[in-house]
């Protein structure tokens, strides 16, 4: 007898997706992570547009990580044009990345994820039970937004970033105004860790996770030119320019987003892989969070991605304070972006964004128009891996005698643990 | 009993739902003032049948599934408010491409193309399908404008929306004119205000993300930019980035 377990419309995720599991007896026939968000064809739409105009357009791929889409797009254009940004610009972009990380992780962990772990349907009902914890989370989320606003001019779809620098460099006063807010954020992080200490992380799926992340080259954890894949204890390095070998995409009929494989097998990107590969960078209060929340890597429990996000959120608050101090110490300079001449060129870039590694590449013609564009988002890369975890969730649930309705709940929790961003995944990628 | 509201997102970037969730200082008050009964983006348990006072809807409509869901929302709502430029005007996914849509799909998905089962229509604003009671424009919407609309509607008032262009706010900020003084292709004269001229405040020309102001004179701005030696085709694509389907219907070429 064939039966189906399905999550028709996944709640508390960004975008429109569902899960379909087809079973024959206790045999899993098929598990599909269905992506039915309308396709938006960004890479096709921006062909022929001036390179100065495209970054503000691709920002619209995703609201939550719009700062990240914006800056990664600029990195790719700058790499193509051979522009090196100043240390001040790099630090300010790094600061904006910490803001994005704080905002996105606070949103996912507390507003979208925590209700699962505490048996609630939403943060609204959670607010009725633990209002103080929800207020802390909202303050942290706001801090992430404020940082992004001060550097980028707007929290969602920033306006101030241009090729080579800024429309207007943030003033020393604006950066100074961040200092007390970040210090308050550290206090909020301490309390958030306390709240989360008492929240048990379920362990209903145990399946090894193959991890990938950018190998950081300097202080900036989220910027770099090499991807590392960790497979059975062995690290392989791939230059960002060769990203196509790595993300090797396939079309599948049930998804408006392509699936990624590396050497024929799935992999995961995101907070859990970053800490698995580069956890030695975590110190201070973030290290304390790591210990107090009993985090360990490698982990074969995908739900630990929620905890990895908490640790990264704390790291980002600490690193933001460090960056503000450093920028102020050096003295902020009102510098204009370097001049450049349009010429036929091509460039790629990758950065680590809240949900994992984001790739951009552009080909530019001699007049400075986009000849070809390619964007590969973390969620698109994670879809195959998520399907494998969903299969394991069904198999391990059936093995332990769980009912279909319990399995259905678990499927939604596992899918959400990836913090999928479905809008991002359907922007689509050229083959 | 608190008034019931619903928050919905169709094809788009989720920006409006994020801006609503970004009202961190006001969110607890909002939860207190209204009963958000249907909000798939925020809750896994939703009331999908009862009558709503207001439905806030973001995103464009790109397939039959979305159209059917939108009609259902319209049927049960007293007021339907389109939030953001995708819902109001079609948004970025509806911008003009250089090639026909079938070719763009091929460029993105490769020559084998997407599965035949996919329902992939063009993106349209909500008003192509249902009656829309109010537009809150913006890409994304402005937090304060959203909160002002909510409190007006809850008090039975008609929200006051700006009917003047970004230029007016820009002048009030005493910004140097990017279009006239610096010759930048600024969409401020034809774009509806409400952002406090955010981009010009950063020396960035307005890109028209809030959509056209009432009676926007597109012909005139095109002429000004042509005189500044921008190519007409380039100007048009630029000015039609956020509201192409809407402009097709309303454009005045005076």
Per-residue pLDDT of chain B (254 residues; tens, 9 = 90+): 899 999 999 999 999 999 999 998 898 899 899 999 999 888 878 999 999 999 999 999 988 989 999 999 999 999 999 999 999 999 999 988 777 777 777 777 776 666 555 667 788 999 999 999 999 999 999 999 999 999 999 999 999 999 999 999 999 999 999 999 999 999 999 999 999 999 999 999 999 999 999 999 999 999 999 999 899 999 999 999 999 999 988 765 54
Q: Do B44 and A145 touch (CB under 8 A)?
A: no
Q: Taking CB atoms and an 8 Å limit, are B98 and A168 in contact across chains? A: no
Q: What pLDDT sits at residue A253?
A: 65
Q: Considering only residues 145 to 164 of chain B, which have any Cβ-Cβ distance to chain A shorter than 8 Å?
A: none
Give A376: exposed, middle or buried? Use CB within 10 Å, 0-12, 13-18, 19+: buried
Q: How confident is the model at residue A37 (pLDDT cuts 50, 70, 90)?
A: low
Closest by Cα among B161, B105, B103, B107 to B132: B161
- Highest mean pLDDT pick, A172-181, A236-245, B231-240: A172-181
Specify the higher pLDDT residue, A257 or B61: B61
Question: What does the pLDDT average to over A377-402?
Answer: 92
Confidence category of residue A431, pLDDT binned at 50, 70, 90: very low
Q: Is A53 on the interface with B (CB under 8 A)?
A: yes
Which among B107, B140, B234 is the nearest to A63, CB-wise? B140
**What does each C-alpha distance from A225 to A246, A289, B161 come to in angstroms?**
14, 29, 47
Nearest to A251 among B62, B112, B207 (CB): B112
The model's pTM: 0.94
Give the per-residue pLDDT at A429.
34
By C-alpha distance, the chain B residue nearest A115 is B43
Based on its alpha-carbon atoms, the radius of gyration of chain A, rounded to whole angstroms, reads: 21
Q: What is the CA radius of gyration of chain B?
A: 19
A312 touches chain B (CB under 8 A): no
Instruction: Report yes or no: B115 at the A interface, CB cutoff 8 Å.
Output: yes
Q: Report the pLDDT value the prediction gives residue B220, as an integer from 0 to 100.
A: 94
Q: Rounded to the nearest 5°, which phi and psi values hold at A195?
A: -60, -45
Query: CB-CB: which of B21, B61, B207 is closest to A56?
Result: B207
Task: State the pLDDT confidence band at A38, using cuts at 50, 70 and 90.
Answer: low
The H or E element containing residue B76 is helix B64-76
- pLDDT score of A368: 97
**Hey, are the CB atoms on A423 and B14 less than 8 Å from each other?**
yes
Residues A222/A214, Cβ–Cβ less than 8 Å:
yes
* Nearest-CB residue to A167 (from B31, B65, B202): B202
Q: Which pLDDT does position B254 carry in this prediction?
A: 45
Give the model's pLDDT for residue B106: 76
pLDDT of residue A311: 98
Average pLDDT over residues A228-238: 91
Cβ–Cβ contact B144 with A under 8 A? no
Q: Is A131 on the interface with B (CB under 8 A)?
A: yes
Is the Cβ of B238 closer than 8 Å to some Cβ of chain A?
yes
Cis bond upstream, residue A115 (ω within 30) = no
Six token digits for residue A380: 């698109």
Angle formed by the axes of helices A131-152 and A87-106, to 10°? Answer: 150
Q: Does B114 touch chain A (CB under 8 A)?
A: yes
Q: What residues in B contact A153, CB-CB < 8 Å?
A: 198-199, 201-202, 204
- Count contacts between A and B (CB, < 8 Å): 199
Could you say which residues from 141 to 200 on chain A have a Cβ atom under 8 Å away from some Cβ of chain B? 141-142, 145, 153-157, 159-160, 162, 166-168
Within 8 A of B43 by CB-CB distance, chain A residues are: 11-12, 115, 121-122, 124-125
Tell whether the model's pLDDT for residue A217 goes beyond 90: no
Cβ–Cβ gap A61/B91 under 8 Å? no
Cα distance from A399 to chain B (closest Cα, Å)? 26
Name A305's Cβ contacts closer than 8 Å, sequence gap at least 6: A270, A271, A272, A417, A418, A419
- Burial bucket for residue B155 (CB in 10 Å: 0-12, 13-18, 19+): exposed
pLDDT of A179 higher than 90: yes
Contacts of A125 in chain B (CB under 8 A): 43
pLDDT at residue A427 tops 60: no
- Tell me the range of A83-87, A229-233, B214-218 where mean pLDDT is highest: A83-87
Query: Per the CB < 8 Å rule, is B45 touching A121?
Result: yes
| pLDDT band with cut points at 50, 70 and 90 for residue A41 | confident
B161 burial level (CB within 10 Å; 0-12, 13-18, 19+): middle
The pLDDT value given to residue B60: 95
The answer to whether B42 faces chain A, any CB pair under 8 Å, is yes
Q: How far is CA B218 from CA A287, A355, A423, B131, in A?
A: 57, 40, 31, 26
Q: Is A65 on the interface with B (CB under 8 A)?
A: no
Of B11, B111, B234, the CB nearest to A37: B11
| Torsion sign across C-alpha atoms B106, A17, A29, A390 | positive
Cβ neighbours, 10 Å, residue B33: 14
The sign of the CA dihedral A325, A326, A330, A336 is negative
How close, in Å, is residue A63 to chain B by CA atoms?
A: 5
Mean pLDDT, range A410-424, rounded to an integer: 86
Hey, are the CB atoms on A66 and B120 less than 8 Å from each other? no
* A234-239 sheet: strands from edge to edge: A211-214, A226-231, A234-239
A126-141 mean pLDDT: 90
pLDDT value for A256: 64
Q: What is the pLDDT of residues A60-69, one digit of tens each?
A: 999 999 999 9
- Where in chain B does DSSP place strands (E)? 4-9, 35-38, 52-58, 77-83, 134-136
């Amino acid at each position: 007898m064939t039966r189906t377990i399905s999550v028709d419309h996944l709640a508390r995720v960004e975008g429109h997706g569902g899960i379909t599991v087809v079973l024959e007896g206790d045999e899993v026939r098929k598990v599909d992570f269905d992506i039915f968000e309308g396709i938006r064809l960004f890479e096709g739409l921006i062909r022929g547009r001036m390179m100065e105009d495209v970054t503000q357009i691709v920002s619209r791929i995703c609201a939550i990580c719009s700062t990240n889409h914006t800056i990664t797009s600029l990195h790719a254009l700058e790499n193509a044009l051979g522009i090196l940004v100043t240390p001040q610009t790099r630090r300010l972009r790094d600061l904006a990345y910490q803001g994005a990380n704080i905002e996105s992780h606070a949103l996912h962990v507390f507003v979208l994820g925590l209700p699962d772990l505490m048996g609630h349907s939403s943060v609204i009902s959670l607010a009725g039970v633990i209002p103080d914890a929800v207020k802390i989370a909202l303050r942290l989320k706001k801090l992430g937004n404020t940082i992004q606003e001060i550097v980028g001019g707007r929290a969602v779809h920033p306006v101030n970033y241009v090729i080579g620098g800024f429309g207007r460099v943030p003033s020393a006063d604006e950066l100074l105004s961040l200092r007390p807010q970040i210090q308050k954020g550290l206090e909020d992080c301490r309390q958030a860790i306390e709240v989360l200490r008492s929240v048990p992380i379920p362990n209903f799926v145990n399946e090894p996770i193959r991890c990938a992340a950018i190998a950081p080259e300097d202080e900036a954890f989220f910027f770099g030119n090499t991807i590392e894949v960790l497979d059975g204890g062995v690290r392989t390095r791939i230059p960002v320019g060769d990203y196509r070998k790595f993300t090797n995409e396939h079309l599948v009929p049930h998804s408006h987003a392509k699936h990624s494989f590396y050497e024929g097998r799935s992999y995961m990107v995101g907070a859990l892989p970053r800490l698995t590969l580069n956890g030695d960078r975590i110190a201070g209060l973030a290290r304390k969070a790591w210990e107090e929340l009993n985090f360990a890597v490698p982990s074969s429990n995908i739900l630990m991605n929620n905890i990895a996000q908490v640790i990264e959120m704390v790291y980002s608050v600490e690193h933001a304070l460090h960056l503000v101090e450093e920028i102020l110490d050096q003295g902020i300079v009102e510098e204009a972006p370097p001049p450049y001449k349009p010429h036929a060129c091509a460039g790629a870039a990758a950065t680590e964004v809240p949900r994992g590694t984001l790739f951009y590449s552009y080909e530019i013609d001699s007049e400075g128009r986009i000849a070809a564009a390619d964007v590969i988002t973390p969620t698109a890369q994670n879809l195959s891996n998520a399907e494998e975890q969903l299969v394991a969730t069904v198999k391990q649930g059936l093995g332990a005698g769980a009912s279909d309705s319990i399995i259905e709940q678990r499927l939604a929790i596992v899918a959400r643990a990836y913090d999928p961003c479905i809008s991002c995944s359907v922007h689509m990628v050229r083959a | 009993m608190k008034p019931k509201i619903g928050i919905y997102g169709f094809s788009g970037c989720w920006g409006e739902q994020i801006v609503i969730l970004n009202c961190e200082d006001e969110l607890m008050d909002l939860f207190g003032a209204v009963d958000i009964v249907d909000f798939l983006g925020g809750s896994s348990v939703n009331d999908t049948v009862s009558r709503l006072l207001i439905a806030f809807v973001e995103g464009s409509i790109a397939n039959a599934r979305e159209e059917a869901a939108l009609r259902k929302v319209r049927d049960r709502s007293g007021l339907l408010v389109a939030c953001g430029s995708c819902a109001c005007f079609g948004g970025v996914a509806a911008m003009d491409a250089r090639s026909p849509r079938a070719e763009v799909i091929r460029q993105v998905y490769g020559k084998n193309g997407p599965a035949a089962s996919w329902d992939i229509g063009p993106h349209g604003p909500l008003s192509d399908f249902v009656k829309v009671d109010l537009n809150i424009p913006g890409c994304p919407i402005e937090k304060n404008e959203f909160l002002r609309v909510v409190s007006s509607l809850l008090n039975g008032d008609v929200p006051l929306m700006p009917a003047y262009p970004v230029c007016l706010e820009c002048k009030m900020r005493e910004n140097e004119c990017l279009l006239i003084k610096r010759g930048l292709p600024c969409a401020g004269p034809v774009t509806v205000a409400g952002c406090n001229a955010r981009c010009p405040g950063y020396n960035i020309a307005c890109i028209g993300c809030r959509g056209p102001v009432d009676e926007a004179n597109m012909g005139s701005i095109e002429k000004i930019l042509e005189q500044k030696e921008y190519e007409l085709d380039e100007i048009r694509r630029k000015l039609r980035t956020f509201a192409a389907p809407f402009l097709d219907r309303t454009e005045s070429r005076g």
